[in-house]
Structure 1
Amino acid sequence: VKSQQDQTPEQFVTETQTLNVSNTISAANVKLIIPTDVWYINDSWNALAFGFNYNNSFSRSPTVEKSFNWVWNANANYNISLSPDLYIKLADLPIIGAVFQLFKDYKDAKIYFAPQNFAAVITAKRNRNSNKTRPRTNVPTNEIVARDFTTSRGFNFGWRLTEGGLINFTTNYNVTINSSLAYLLEDQFGNDRTETDIWNDIIGGATFGKDYRYQQSFDVRTSPKLPSLWDINRYFTLNAGYSVQYQWNFDLRQEVLGRSAGYSRRFTAGMVLRWKSLTEPLFTSSDDDTKPEQTGTNNKGEEEIIAGTEDSTVTIVKSPRKPPALIRALLFLRSAVQWVFFDWENFNINFSHDNSVSKSGIKAYGTGFANFWGVTQNPDNGPSRAFQLGLSSDVGPRAFSSENTNLSDVFSEKNSFDVKTSRPLWEGAKLDINWNVGWSMNKTTTLQVDKIGTITINNVTASGTLTRSFLTLPSGLLPFVDTGIEKVHALYNPNAEDPRKSLSDAFIEGFETVPLVSSLPAFNEVAKYIPRPNWRISWDGLEKILFFKSLAERITVDHAYTSNYTEGWKLTREGNQEIQTQRIEFGFSPLIGLNITFGQLWGGNLTGNIKFSSRNSYDLGLSTTNINETLSKDIGFTAGYSKSGFELPLFGVSLKNDIEFLFSYSTTRNSTIRYEMNDFTEDGIPQDGTIRTTIEPRIKYTISSKVSLSIFFKRSTVEPEGAARIPPTTTNEAGLDVNIVIQ
């Protein structure tokens, strides 16, 4: 290494300068089309597309003597859409077709014997990075080289199997296999092999290399076509779907224990029940369907029956008759039952199930592709078809080494069920109700395999959650509501045989409003899994009421209630579920929300809305008998006035543009209170709290679609409350926003 005294000026400049040079060659979606109308050429060679990209770069700097990198990517794609006429119409088949001809709903049933689309892709990527730093203190440095060569291939197709039948299936399949050829790039001494040797090995049998990742997805969906018998298809709509993603991995650094596999599956099912349409005939009598005679009343109060001619009218004096009281009572009862139970529009019912399994230390060398598509199943080819489809948890033989081997099985499950419905209350008013429940579990099993392959369970850990819609109202909101933290304390028995269970049960019972389900002995064991209703009420059209007619053009009112109960549990060493956390939250979002659009004022539009919301949550942990309450209350008010064609004199020119005045006010109160069940006080112990208030007036002036100006002032205050240790603060902001759109 030459010292600085021995360097020429050119060498000194080279060592002190920073140089970067890069080159790129790219060709994408290249097709070599053979001009022909022959289908087998168009669907084979002419459906191929190729792509290639090459990039190299060289750089040096005062700290790096040389850095040379290159990378190339190549790909070949095949994509084809098959004819939609590749099907068999069952009604056209002999013998069987006669049966389908009898059922008009399924006379057009078809079976497709080929997929509708198919695609395949092959990619390859190779790169080499070399870097050599400049020597320090005359100590030579070695060149650091990194090499990689990977390939991938895969295919996918979409197949509508049946159409127009009772059960109609549609499937999609996709598979991608990643492989590595990096082991061919260097010899046993870590030196680069020649290109000839590398490509001879690839052509001679290495092909795509060693597989290290295999990803596969399969899904099937169905939308049954129900028969028109008794108009079933008018009242019910069904759908279902099943999908599974299978993955196989191989850590090339661990030849024996480096293989693992797992899947994630999802099942969904849904139904729409048109309840009102289904039950409406029950409340329609035959008399209602018969048109009555046309009648009228003359000037003497006598009833006239119009006989059907233009000039003939028969006047019959009838004494007014009313139905008997019993009939009227029954009719009223029928109307009441219809209004309460049968006036709901639709019921939307949905269920979903998610499940995942992951297992390490697989003995088989195969990815599972041969087992999935093969006729026979061979354990050496990898996990079975049933495992890849998520229908079995048996991954096959497990691997083990000469020493004790630790393996793991990971299992998770999640389920959800929800029901939604709605109904009209009165003109313009609508009620939406929903119920939902969900539960999940996570389980990890540690296995130990000895040197002869005997598997023993070393440890099992499991945890889970339960979440469902809940119903709890603030105490005193309604006369019959007697729920809250005071009732929890009243139900809690610290001297019980199991005080922890007593507090857990009191936590649920004390907050639940109208516990009809839990009070029934038949539902004692499952009451905690049954969801309670949440709702939303919207009323549009209040401006039609006499009092509001002269006040506004449109008035809407919103009200919504949501509540959830959540508990978390874990599995004890004895195999029992132990509740770790419990949480109840409820809120009105909003309790009342009012939106008003006023009439024209000074040639512009005046709008306003006010909203009041509140939310409470109560948390109970395992290690303490304390319950923490978090409370949040919001009040917001917004008013706006906008006018088009507003005249503003500027520099001697009168501009007519849009102007908007906005004013908003909001205040939010947050607080945290701790209640000690063994030393209870109704007010609790305040922990933290703040009151945040924001006031913001704003004026926006729109000059054009590309230029607008805004002037605003914003005042924010934060006041501590309870045991909060933050100081009170006030923030004032004012500014001018200029938005210019340049295209």
Structure 2
Amino acid sequence: VKLADALDAAQTKQEKDSISSIALDRVKVESLSITGVKVNIKSKNPMPYDPANFTLGYSYNRQSNENPTTQYENTYDHRGSLLYSYTPYVKPLRPFGWIKSKSKNAKFFKEWEINYLPTNISFSTNISRYYYEEQVRDLNSIVSGVKGIELPASVSKNFLWDRQLSVQWNLTKTLNFSLQTMTNARVDEPAGSVNRSLYPDAYKIWQDSVWNSIKGLGTPWEYNQVFNASWTAPFNKIPATDFLSFSAKYNATYNWEKGTELEDVDMGNSISNQSQWNLDGRVNMEQLYNKVPYLRKVNKRFAARSSNSRATQEKRRKFERTITLKQDTGVVIRHNLKSKKVKVSATNLGGQPFAIETRVIDENSVEILTRGNRQIKVLATLPKEKVNFWSEAAQYTSRFLMMVRNVSSRYRETRSMTLPLFKPTIGDGFGQTSAYGPMAPGLDFAFGFTDDSYVQRALDNGWLIQDELMTNPAITGMTRELNIDADIEPITGLKIKLTGNWSRTNSNQIQFMYEGSPTIYGGSFTKTHVAILTALRPSSVDNGYQSDAFDAFLRNREIIAARYESLYEGSKYPTTGFMQTHSLAGQPYSSNNGGVNKSSPDVMIPAFIAAYSGMSADNIALTAFPAISSILPNWRITYEGLMQIPVFKKYFKSFTLNHAYQCTYSVGSYSSFLNWIGIDGEMGYTLDELSGNPVPSSPYDISSVSITERFSPLIGVNMTMKNNLTCRAEYNDSRVLTLNSSAGQIVEATTTDITVGLSYKIANFNKIIKIGSTQTGINNDLDITADFSYRNTMSLIRRIDENYTQATTGTRTLAVKATANYVLSRRITLGVYFDHQVNTPLVSSSAYPVTNSNYGISIQLSLVK
């Protein structure tokens, strides 16, 4: 049936409208958008109430759909925004502007300014309302003609209100603050359709609910805050301290998030914060030395020079120029040698001596008194400096004592806390509320000035839900990291870079829902270390893999265990935790009840560090986490001074020796004993499951620690000869020592490799083989490279209790690589290559000897225009 025929057959207008609504698909879209609306009226001096500070925006979108299966489908999207931004313009205060002195030190105080108003204040609010309603047709009723049960409409809606505040305050030129807050809120709406014409009573209820929610600024569901502060010390503004630099930065974030809403269960909210301090300091020692005139002169003399610096110095000690004499007056020449004691001579253009008379004008100028009309070459030179032994000795000694050129340090501390089951909601100021007595969670939490004790404070204030069925713990973390660098140059051309690092990460889980708030500790640790006293002593099958360091480790365990025993002597067993009902509770400590275990991490880790570092077990710290003061420097050394020797300068363009040492001690990860009871610091007890007695122990359950050491390289040479032959040779040695306390073994993995690399470029090779170049602008060069390497790796397992060593893996690798590439044309490069590698296992049970060889020719074709 055609639609037109059906409409003609309809008897009434109502029937025709019904047929049209069922038969047709209708889509209607309405939209309106207004952005950036503002009145650009502002005062001569910007004021907070200026209309130009406000910017408005609004958008409206509506889409209506009708089709044979859908009676109506309406989507409404309203969005409105208001932005306020105010930048005051006020003259900064100069508290010390009254100072009359013109000295450089006084200038800093005279120009010191304070901005007593924030630099910028901005606020924005965005409201968005989304509403979707769909009513499907009852097709069965339409077909049968019998009215059935009307299907309910489907409704989806969201009424959101976001508010942002930003304050930037440059209090001084070097002290800045900024604060950004963002509140995400929801305007509460009753469930069901919002239709004024169909449901006027429900619409009235909806309207009252929405207005009441708006008056209360909505129901917050997330709050975020970011605070930043930075300060740069004005040392560079004061001449006496311009060799110093220091900056401090602080960042704090705070987040409140509404918890899941269940009908009969209060899940609480969640709060978290994080704060970070960054401190950077630097001392330019060279700039400090230069404040003394004599030392500045010494530094200028011994300044780092290039290989041709001697020729440059000679050039600076003389002045040459061709001039034309005048008949009626003398000729003034400016030599800029900064001395009145200059020797001036002349030659004619043929090089024959030419007598002249001169007169010194000043330390940079002389006048040629001889007159004439001919050209001559004038040479002005400085007299040779007289060398005084004591003066030379004093200058060389002074320069050596000024070997430290720069020292810098960086310290970073990061703290974080995540606290679930938090009852209070937030107000509208800095994410706080006073509905639970004191301001919650407190400005100290919002700005990151809290530690683990905050959890107990929150419990005391009744802010946390204590339910043993809800076991989400409070998680706190802290990371401290210190980096120290120093540049040392004892003599010209010898540069030493010292680096030190110390880093410790702590992560705690506080089970505040249980009595006593039991805490689980965890984290990691690393620091730069020096184990060079036991380095470069390989073990082999010839000596039964004997190791002096491992033998020392076995002896050290006895010493460390005895030192621990002496710490516990005179103490008493605790009376808390698992000791509350124990017969030894409160009794004096006795090793007969269970003493220090030689195989415990507390004993083996200090013994391991002492043995493999060449230290005394009597003085090593009894901890797996040495203090910051235990940092030992790593270094990198380069020496280029050989280029000052004539024979090296004759044959080489550059010649550099280098050496580097890197060593770190690290604790990969650790946890804590759940049943540990502390008595003093890290001293305490755990329960021995076999005997049922307490045994001395630290709170940390550390499965492994390691020392990683690398000579990269032990010795290295980089040279480029006058004929463009480049050579690089290195000898590298590394080892990784891992103490696995849980398995009772030490794993030693060592690697030694020697590499030699050669490269040579034959320029315009086509001319040598007498092949003419077919393209201009192309260098038909032949590049030749050759690399030789020898590598030896070995892995040993040393079983502690059995005093037995076993080789597990080991490989000897010899590799030779060579390539030659010839640029035939702009688009074509021809090459040959050879790669030969031989792998020989040192442990026959682990692998077989393998030889790989690759060789061939290559053609590189470039199709790029």
**Secondary structure of 1:90's aligned partner:** coil
Q: Which has the larger radius of gyration?
A: 2
Give the counterpart letter for 1:358 in structure 2: T
Check if 1:546 corresponds to 2:553.
no
CA distance in 2 between counterparts of 1:86 and 1:256 reads 54
1:376-396 Cα offsets, whole Å, 9 max, x none, are 997476311111112233455
State the match for 2:801 in structure 1. 678
The answer to which of 69-78 and 499-508 deviates more is 69-78
CA distance in 1 between counterparts of 2:822 and 2:31 reads 51
1:166-196 Cα offsets, whole Å, 9 max, x none, are xx421121122233459667569xxx99999
CA distance in 1 between counterparts of 2:823 and 2:88 reads 58
CA distance in 2 between counterparts of 1:731 and 1:40 reads 80
Following superposition, the deviation at residue 111 of structure 1 comes to 1.2
1:305-345 Cα offsets, whole Å, 9 max, x none, are xxx9x9xxxxxxxxx9999xxx99xx88x9769835x5311
1:509-564 Cα offsets, whole Å, 9 max, x none, are 11225x49985999999678511121111223644433332333223333211111
CA distance in 1 between counterparts of 2:208 and 2:765 reads 80
State the match for 1:268 in structure 2. 278
CA distance in 2 between counterparts of 1:409 and 1:278 reads 49
**Secondary structure of 2:233's aligned partner:** coil
1:631 aligned to 736, 750, 763, which one?
Answer: 750
Instruction: Assess if the C-alpha contact under 8 Å between 2:811 and 2:840 holds in 1.
Output: yes
Instruction: Assess if the C-alpha contact under 8 Å between 2:182 and 2:225 holds in 1.
Output: yes
2:55 aligned to 48, 53, 70, which one?
Answer: 48
1:245 aligned to 253, 261, 269, which one?
Answer: 253
Change (3 A) 1:522 1:585: closer
1:398 aligned to 453, 459, 463, which one?
Answer: 463
Instruction: Assess if the C-alpha contact under 8 Å between 2:606 and 2:623 holds in 1.
Output: no
CA distance in 1 between counterparts of 2:649 and 2:183 reads 69
State the match for 1:317 in structure 2. none
Instruction: Assess if the C-alpha contact under 8 Å between 1:49 and 1:77 holds in 2.
Output: yes
State the match for 1:348 in structure 2. 408
**Secondary structure of 1:390's aligned partner:** coil
1:227-278 Cα offsets, whole Å, 9 max, x none, are 988x641343222222211111112435733311121111222332344554
Instruction: Assess if the C-alpha contact under 8 Å between 2:48 and 2:86 holds in 1.
Output: no
Identical aligned residues as a percent: 14
Following superposition, the deviation at residue 609 of structure 1 comes to 3.2
Instruction: Report matched runs for 1:595-610 at 5 Å.
Output: 595-599=718-722, 607-610=726-729
**Secondary structure of 1:654's aligned partner:** coil
CA distance in 1 between counterparts of 2:207 and 2:811 reads 71
**Secondary structure of 1:678's aligned partner:** coil
Change (3 A) 1:196 1:729: farther
State the match for 2:142 in structure 1. none
The answer to which of 264-273 and 361-370 deviates more is 361-370
**Secondary structure of 1:111's aligned partner:** coil
Query: Size of the alignment, in residue pairs?
Result: 654
Give the counterpart letter for 2:246 in structure 1: L
Following superposition, the deviation at residue 122 of structure 1 comes to 4.1
Check if 1:389 corresponds to 2:512.
no
Check if 1:654 corresponds to 2:775.
yes
State the match for 1:410 in structure 2. 475
Following superposition, the deviation at residue 210 of structure 1 comes to 3.0
CA distance in 2 between counterparts of 1:252 and 1:522 reads 47
Check if 1:461 corresponds to 2:520.
yes
CA distance in 2 between counterparts of 1:143 and 1:511 reads 77
State the match for 1:116 in structure 2. 119
Give the counterpart letter for 2:739 in structure 1: L
Give the counterpart letter for 2:447 in structure 1: L
Instruction: Report matched runs for 1:89-238 at 5 Å.
Output: 89-92=94-97, 103-123=106-126, 150-163=160-173, 168-180=174-186, 186=192, 202=210, 205-206=213-214, 209-226=218-235, 232-238=240-246
Instruction: Assess if the C-alpha contact under 8 Å between 1:371 and 1:377 holds in 2.
Output: no
**Secondary structure of 2:662's aligned partner:** strand
Give the counterpart letter for 2:797 in structure 1: R
CA distance in 2 between counterparts of 1:507 and 1:187 reads 73
**Secondary structure of 1:471's aligned partner:** coil
Change (3 A) 1:196 1:505: same
**Secondary structure of 2:511's aligned partner:** strand
Give the counterpart letter for 1:159 in structure 2: W
Superposition TM-score, scaled by structure 2 size = 0.61
State the match for 1:443 in structure 2. 508
State the match for 1:665 in structure 2. 787
Give the counterpart letter for 1:349 in structure 2: S
- Structure 1: tracts of 5 or more residues without a match: 1-20, 59-64, 132-141, 289-293, 297-307, 311-319, 450-455
**Secondary structure of 2:501's aligned partner:** strand
Change (3 A) 1:75 1:50: same
Change (3 A) 1:656 1:77: farther
Change (3 A) 1:650 1:172: farther
1:535 aligned to 632, 635, 649, which one?
Answer: 635
Instruction: Assess if the C-alpha contact under 8 Å between 1:370 and 1:381 holds in 2.
Output: no
Following superposition, the deviation at residue 222 of structure 1 comes to 1.3
Give the counterpart letter for 1:263 in structure 2: N
CA distance in 2 between counterparts of 1:412 and 1:697 reads 53
Give the counterpart letter for 1:546 in structure 2: P
State the match for 2:487 in structure 1. 422
Following superposition, the deviation at residue 471 of structure 1 comes to 0.7
CA distance in 2 between counterparts of 1:187 and 1:273 reads 70
Following superposition, the deviation at residue 709 of structure 1 comes to 6.0
Give the counterpart letter for 2:115 in structure 1: Y
Give the counterpart letter for 1:267 in structure 2: W
Following superposition, the deviation at residue 350 of structure 1 comes to 2.6
State the match for 1:574 in structure 2. 677
Change (3 A) 1:529 1:715: same
CA distance in 2 between counterparts of 1:321 and 1:540 reads 27
1:508 aligned to 592, 609, 614, which one?
Answer: 609
Change (3 A) 1:146 1:489: farther
Instruction: Assess if the C-alpha contact under 8 Å between 1:408 and 1:447 holds in 2.
Output: yes
CA distance in 2 between counterparts of 1:459 and 1:79 reads 49
**Secondary structure of 2:254's aligned partner:** strand
**Secondary structure of 1:400's aligned partner:** coil
CA distance in 1 between counterparts of 2:811 and 2:624 reads 39
Give the counterpart letter for 2:605 in structure 1: S
Instruction: Assess if the C-alpha contact under 8 Å between 1:493 and 1:503 holds in 2.
Output: no
CA distance in 2 between counterparts of 1:350 and 1:511 reads 29
1:483-510 Cα offsets, whole Å, 9 max, x none, are 7445434534499753134432221111
Instruction: Assess if the C-alpha contact under 8 Å between 1:464 and 1:570 holds in 2.
Output: yes
1:674-707 Cα offsets, whole Å, 9 max, x none, are 112333357x422465748473636385977xx7
**Secondary structure of 1:397's aligned partner:** coil
2:659 aligned to 535, 538, 559, which one?
Answer: 559
CA distance in 2 between counterparts of 1:262 and 1:184 reads 31
- Structure 2: tracts of 5 or more residues without a match: 1-26, 135-151, 299-339, 343-361, 367-386, 538-546, 563-595, 679-697
Instruction: Assess if the C-alpha contact under 8 Å between 2:466 and 2:513 holds in 1.
Output: no
**Secondary structure of 1:91's aligned partner:** coil
Change (3 A) 1:553 1:124: farther
Following superposition, the deviation at residue 659 of structure 1 comes to 5.9
Instruction: Assess if the C-alpha contact under 8 Å between 1:379 and 1:397 holds in 2.
Output: no
